[in-house]
Structure 1
Amino acid sequence: MKLRRLFEYIEGANLNFSRISMTVPVLTSIVPEAGPLHSSAYFVLLYLPAKSQVIPPLPLPELNLKPDPWTTRCIAVRKFSGFARDANIVKEAERLAISLGRSPWANRTSSKREYAYSIAQYNSPFRFIGRVNEVWVDVGGSELDDCGLNPIATY
């Protein structure tokens, strides 16, 4: 499971054996019909803290983790509470799609990405009240106003 490998990485399973502070959000990107029998697959990203951005610690080879340097992008976001579960994730993604359909960004979602949407989770799994999650969808690109440069490195 990739999440376990990411946890090992931040706990010191990297070439300089350094612990890396946990950051938020934990981002899960959904890849439709990439799994067996046309089911959805997913990949998980953890943001690296600012001090690890310039020279990120390399993961141990056996973890089979690959860096995913994010380029400039514009993202439409819908915030929701509670635990992120399959049923409410799909509902929130549909609500975001409906909202986008009524906005200037209708028909501007990016098809260049290998995933359809992402779920950003901001809280520890041990927090039960006041949880914050978001559904993210790439829209348009950096040509839109208010989409300035903000490169972020993730694993």
Structure 2
Amino acid sequence: AHRVRARLSRPTPESEQLADPDAGHAVRVESVAPEGLRVAYRDTSWAARLADEYQDTAVSPGDLLIIVGRKGNDLRLAPVSARTSAQPADPDLGHLVRAESVAPEGLRVAYRDTMRTGHLADEYHDTAVSPGDLLTIVGRKGNDLVLAPVPARAPARS
């Protein structure tokens, strides 16, 4: 019984991510240094590092990344979209939305008590989305929201 309780009380990567309210939010890279990244999040500058599986990813100031976890006060990040440094700051970036309907011409999502149209960011165009799925706002294209899936768990290494 002791071994079973000990095993069940250990957090899994999925439970740690669900317990972290920051997971899934987008951040913009402010600076890159050998000791880590500085990112803009919640109106302040945070220390951050790429998650272990993304350590070889090139990151530049202005890049948009998504929070996949935290270690102490450092955010753990993963790439979400192509470089977007030319885009002005958007207060909607990083907010979560729920897919209400999926059609070939795009998605309908519930955001701020209204229905909005959107589509997946280019690198996620092959990702399956179902009604009820959570997505993160990573940009805009005209009046449409540009969305990325909220990672449920880290991708498997190949």
Give the structure-2-normalised TM-score: 0.24
For CA contacts below 8 A with separation 6 or more, give which structure has more relative contact order. 1
The structure with more helix, counted as a fraction of residues: 1
The structure with more strand, counted as a fraction of residues: 2
Give the structure-1-normalised TM-score: 0.24
